[in-house]
Structure formats: structure tokens, C-alpha cells
Amino acid sequence: MVEKKQLNRHVYWNPYFGGFVLGLLIILTFYLTGRGLGASGALKSGVVTVVHTVAPTHAENNVYYSKFIKEGESPMNNWLVFEAIGVLLGAFLSGAFTGRLKLKVQHSPKITSRRRLVFALIGGVLFGIGAQVARGCTSGAALSGMAVLSTGGFITMLAIFGTGYAVAYFFRKNWI
């Protein structure tokens, strides 16, 4: 019995199947709401809300925050925030069904978990800055942008993956 559970743990969907279903989901999203998916927008709304609650005057004076602060309405009242909540629930359910719920740090056996966490933090900071500059991340700009043949989406995607390949050599110790 235990053996069977261990075997199931990292059986994922066929990537082509996953891509197909994801494509159908994007079509459905566009059909229903006219917009694509997104992920970093929800985090941005969260940050704006927190800063606005903690230091309202500073938030209003800052040029960037003030774009997202509307009178009488919390910045969290945003489509992306609700979608992000859905993502958390969906991923949790999928992990629960396949027995992948486990609190751990996933890292290559050649490095320590501490090093992995440090790099995760650095990567997160860089990605956060980059996502704001480019106005989108891989799911929002690249994926949904490619679905409507948007130039910005293609440029962002090429930039991300191109740079990724270019710097992959320097990070190889972390992964391989």
C-alpha cells in the first residue's frame, strides 16, 4: 500500500494534455470575460493595499501606488485577486488528490536547502521588479498575449526565455 502511494507522487499529466486543457481554458476565459489570465497583478494589488493601510499618505503621494488607489474602493477589488484565490484553491485540491501536499524545500541534491531558499528570494525580487516593468508575467503577458497575437506578449516571452537560456549556464549548479 505504501509503495503504491510513493509511486503516484510524481506522476503528472502528459504535458500535451495539460497544454490542450489550458488552451481550452484560455479560450473560455476570453469568451466569458474578454481578458486573459494573470498572476502578478494580484500580488501587486496586495502590496498596494498593505502600503495604503499602513501609510496612506505615502501611498497617495507615490506616483505608482496612486494609480491603483481609487476612492472608496479597496485595490483588492480586482479580477486578478479573485483569480489568484481560485488558483490557490485549485492547486491545493490537485495536490491533495495526488498526495503531493508536503511542506518541504525542493532542491537539487547537490546544494543545500538554505542556498535554494536564498536563490528563491533573489529570484523573487528580480521577478517582481521585472514583472512590473514589463507589465506582465509569463501567464498574463506571455500566455494570454500570445493567444490574441499581441506584439507585447511575444516580445516579453522571447525576452524571458532568451535571457533564461543565456544565463542558464551560470545557474547550472543549482539545478543539474
Partner 1 sequence: MGPLIPNGIIPEDWNYIIAILIGFAFGYILEASGFSSSRKLAGVFYGYDFAVLKVFFTSAVVAVIGLYYMDYLNWVDISQLFVQPTYLWAAIIGGMIMGVGFLAGGFCPGTSLCAVAIGKIDGIVFTLGLTIGIFIFSESFSALEPLFESSNLGNITLVDSLGISPYWIIFIFTIIALVAFYFSDWVRSKVKKVFY
Partner 2 sequence: MSKKYKLKRLLVRRYQILAAILFILAAGLVLLPKYKKNEGIAPDQFVKNIISSERYISTDLLADRLVNQDPTVLLIDTRSEQEFNDYALPNAINIPLKDLLNEDFDGYINQDVYDIILYSNENFYADQAWIISSRLGYTNLYVLKGGLNEWFDTIINPKLPDETMPQEAFDLYSFRKAAGMYFGVGMVKSEVKKVTKSKPVKKVVTIKKKKKRVPEGGC
Residues 17-46 within binding reach of partner 1 (CB under 8 A): 18-37, 39-40, 43-44, 46
Query: Quick one: which of 5, 35, 110, 173 contacts partner 2 (CB under 8 A)?
Result: 35
Residue 84 interacts with partner 1 (CB under 8 A): yes or no: yes
Helix (H) or strand (E) holding 24: helix 15-33
Q: Is 5 exposed, middle or buried (0-12, 13-18, 19+ CB in 10 A)?
A: exposed
Residues 97-126 touching partner 2, rule: CB under 8 A, are: none
Residues 42-71 touching partner 1, rule: CB under 8 A, are: 43-44, 46-48, 51, 62-65
Query: Quick one: which of 26, 59, 81, 141 contacts partner 2 (CB under 8 A)?
Result: 141
Q: Out of partner 2, partner 1, none, which partner does residue 76 contact, by CB within 5 to 8 A per kind?
A: none
One-letter identity of residue 59:
A
Cell of 136: 506582465
Rounded to an integer, what distance in angstroms lies between the CA atom of residue 135 and that of residue 157?
Answer: 12
Instruction: Phi first, then psi: give them for residue 10, nearest 5 degrees.
Output: -115, 35
Residue 160 interacts with partner 1 (CB under 8 A): yes or no: yes
